[in-house]
């Protein structure tokens, strides 16, 4: 495995990402946590020093442990990582002057010799390579043993290497998109370090199972299962590792979609035979929500009840010492703090965020090293049905935030049926995977209609469908008129209580994806 020592760059995660694409397993550790002893214990096959915002000229600025240079393994230093290497190994770094600072696109040209490390570079006929720079300071004198292999106007030592020791140091960021050939730097580096690119999801699965067994021993673990991809993969992985020592709790707050609770419970019980408590607490949740129409109050009530309910069931599981969570890599903010704050901040991920301390539980987080698409790949590997893996995101408060205003059982019932017809239409037209998230919402009003010879006074529905990358921004989906009219007709014909259908053509911003 490869160790990335993080000096606080904004793009350190992308280094991990590039390496995973090469099927190389790596871990990112903040520099404060890496000591002589820990690095020897980790025994990396190669090390990368990330970029970072500090200046090596500053007294007390971040450094790798000395042992990093003594392990005899290849090292790649990037930006701040290059400057650290030069300073540590006997070179000289100068503070930035305006003329030598570089931010953004730059071009590197070769200096003559073309080492193996640069395979794939300087090939396109122009004799130069586009890179992305972001540095104030620069290397003024390289360390003994190093040679220069590429220069740019602001960085005379853009690419340097000590080929004897396999130490490589570059001033630019090969991990970003704006260094189009950056991937080959990593490719060459890991090849020289002896990685064969055999790290796969299958290998990860085996490693994680061993790690879980080691961490948990013969103790009991509880896990809140929502039916979403992250918690499902976590649950199944733990089940494979420790079988009956795992109990999952599926909290049914009565705000799920049509048939959802039954499907989730059946999938886990039948396919995986895991211990699953179906905590049907819909009366409790819907009772507490009665008469409440303020969106934030709804969220708070649901969040608090969720914790209470989970704790109640967990208390009933004798000897539970661990809580399993589907925390993903992007949720783990391993950014380095230079303001004296805690070095590692972990975003609380699930609704059970505050639980571990409150209940004295230790955390098991087997997905901490993975990105979302890797979790999906692991889900495939574990045999999770494709229909589960590809599901649209569903919010924790469920249908509560798709029922603006007061929630009633009647409205929820109508909403569930209409949503099912809408999603069925989307699937039938082969659009489900093109859409990031789609759902129906029931509006807090009734409108007049005419059906047959009679006047109706029924609910209006809003249909929502968006395309997005991460949910932060979104565009509404451009359905055809035919699709919209067919869907509207089907909903009104098939769902009693609805006499009007709107399509929400608001993007985010200014709208949000959910209506509340």
Q: Does residue 372 interact with ligand XMP by CB under 6 A?
A: no
b/e string for 431-466 if b means 16 or more Cβ within 10 A? ebeebbbbbbbbbeeeeeeeeeeeebebbbbbbbbb
- Note the helical H segments in 382-441: 386-389, 409-428
Three-state DSSP at 491 gives: helix
Q: Is 97 a catalytic residue?
A: no
Q: Does residue 243 interact with ligand XMP by CB under 6 A?
A: no
- 230 known member of a binding site: yes
Shortest reach from residue 400's CB to ligand XMP, in Å:
9
Helices vs. strands in the chain: H and E counts, helices first: 15, 22
| Gap between the Cα atoms of 444 and 440, Å rounded | 13
By CB under 6 A, name the one of 45, 63, 299, 490 that touches ligand XMP: 299
Shortest reach from residue 325's CB to ligand XMP, in Å:
14
Shortest reach from residue 502's CB to ligand XMP, in Å:
17
* Residue that is written with structure tokens 């303001």 in the block: 339
Q: Does residue 397 interact with ligand XMP by CB under 6 A?
A: yes
| Gap between the Cα atoms of 514 and 504, Å rounded | 11
DSSP state of 309: H
User: Which of the residues 173, 239, 253, 350 is marked catalytic?
Assistant: 173
By CB under 6 A, name the one of 96, 396, 444, 449 that touches ligand XMP: 396
Q: Does residue 471 interact with ligand XMP by CB under 6 A?
A: yes
> What backbone phi and psi angles, to 5 degrees, belong to 390?
-90, 10
| Gap between the Cα atoms of 256 and 416, Å rounded | 8
| Gap between the Cα atoms of 15 and 175, Å rounded | 5
- The site string for ligand XMP over 398-437 (x = CB under 6 A, - otherwise) reads ---------------------------------------x
The β-bridge partners of 3 are 27, 47
List the one residue out of 479, 398, 487, 412 whose CA is nearest residue 442.
Answer: 412
Name the segment binding ligand XMP (CB under 6 A); options: 88-96, 248-256, 389-397, 449-457. Answer: 389-397
- Which is closer to ligand XMP, CB of 326 or CB of 395? 395
- 91 known member of a binding site: no
| Gap between the Cα atoms of 306 and 441, Å rounded | 23
By CB under 6 A, name the one of 70, 393, 427, 428 that touches ligand XMP: 393
Q: Is 79 a catalytic residue?
A: yes
- 125 known member of a binding site: no
- The site string for ligand XMP over 199-238 (x = CB under 6 A, - otherwise) reads ----------------------------------------
Q: Is 248 a catalytic residue?
A: no
Shortest reach from residue 395's CB to ligand XMP, in Å:
3
| Gap between the Cα atoms of 419 and 425, Å rounded | 10
Please give the annotated binding residues for ATP, written as ranges.
226-232
Please give the residue ranges that form the binding site for ligand XMP (CB under 6 A).
299, 393, 395-397, 437, 471, 508, 512-514
Residues forming the active site = 79, 173, 175
């Amino acid at each position: 495995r490869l160790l990335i020592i993080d000096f606080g760059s904004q793009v350190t995660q992308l280094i991990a990402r590039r390496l995973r694409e090469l099927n190389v397993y790596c871990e990112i550790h903040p520099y404060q946590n890496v000591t002589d002893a820990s690095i020897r214990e980790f025994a990396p096959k190669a090390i990368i020093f990330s970029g970072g915002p500090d200046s090596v000229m500053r007294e007390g600025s971040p450094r790798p442990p000395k042992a990093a240079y003594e392990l005899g393994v290849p090292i790649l230093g990037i930006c701040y990582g290059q400057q650290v290497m030069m300073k540590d190994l006997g070179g000289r770094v100068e503070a930035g002057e305006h003329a030598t600072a570089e931010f953004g696109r730059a071009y590197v040209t070769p200096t003559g010799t073309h080492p193996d490390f640069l395979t794939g570079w300087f090939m396109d006929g122009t004799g130069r390579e586009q890179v992305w720079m972001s540095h104030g300071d620069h290397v003024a004198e390289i360390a003994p043993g190093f040679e220069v292999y590429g220069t740019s106007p602001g960085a005379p030592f853009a690419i340097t290497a000590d080929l004897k020791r396999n130490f490589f140091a570059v001033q630019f960021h090969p991990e970003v998109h704006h260094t189009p050939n950056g991937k080959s730097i990593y490719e060459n580096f890991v090849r020289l370090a002896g990685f064969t690119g055999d790290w796969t999801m299958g290998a990860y699965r085996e490693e994680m199972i061993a790690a879980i067994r080691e961490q948990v021993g013969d103790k009991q673990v509880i896990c809140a299962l929502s039916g979403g991809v992250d918690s499902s993969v976590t649950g199944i992985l733990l089940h494979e590792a420790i079988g009956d020592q795992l109990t999952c709790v599926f909290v049914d707050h009565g705000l799920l979609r049509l048939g959802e609770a039954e499907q989730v419970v059946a999938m886990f019980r039948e396919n995986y035979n895991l211990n699953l408590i179906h905590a049907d607490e819909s009366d409790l949740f819907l009772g507490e929500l009665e008469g409440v129409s303020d969106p934030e109050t709804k969220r708070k009530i649901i969040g608090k009840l969720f914790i209470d309910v989970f704790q109640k069931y967990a208390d009933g599981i004798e000897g539970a010492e661990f809580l399993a969570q589907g925390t993903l890599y992007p949720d783990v903010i391993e950014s380095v703090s230079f303001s004296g704050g805690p070095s590692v901040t972990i975003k609380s991920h699930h609704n059970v965020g505050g639980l571990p301390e409150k209940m004295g539980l230790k955390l098991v987080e087997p997905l901490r090293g993975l990105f979302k698409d890797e979790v999906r790949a692991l889900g495939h590997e574990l045999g999770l049905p494709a229909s589960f893996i590809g599901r649209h995101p569903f919010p924790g408060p469920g249908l509560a935030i798709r029922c603006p205003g007061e929630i009633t059982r009647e409205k929820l019932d109508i909403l569930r049926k209409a949503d099912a017809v809408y999603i069925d239409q989307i699937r039938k037209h082969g659009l489900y995977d093109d859409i990031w998230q789609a759902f129906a919402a029931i509006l807090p009003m009734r409108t007049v209609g005419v059906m047959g010879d009679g006047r109706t006074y029924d609910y209006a529905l809003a249909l929502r469908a968006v395309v997005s990358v991460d949910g932060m921004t979104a565009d509404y989906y451009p359905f055809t008129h035919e699709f919209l009219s067919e869907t509207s007709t089907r909903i009104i014909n098939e769902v009693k209580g609805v006499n009007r259908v709107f399509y929400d053509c608001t993007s985010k911003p200014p709208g949000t994806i959910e209506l509340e």
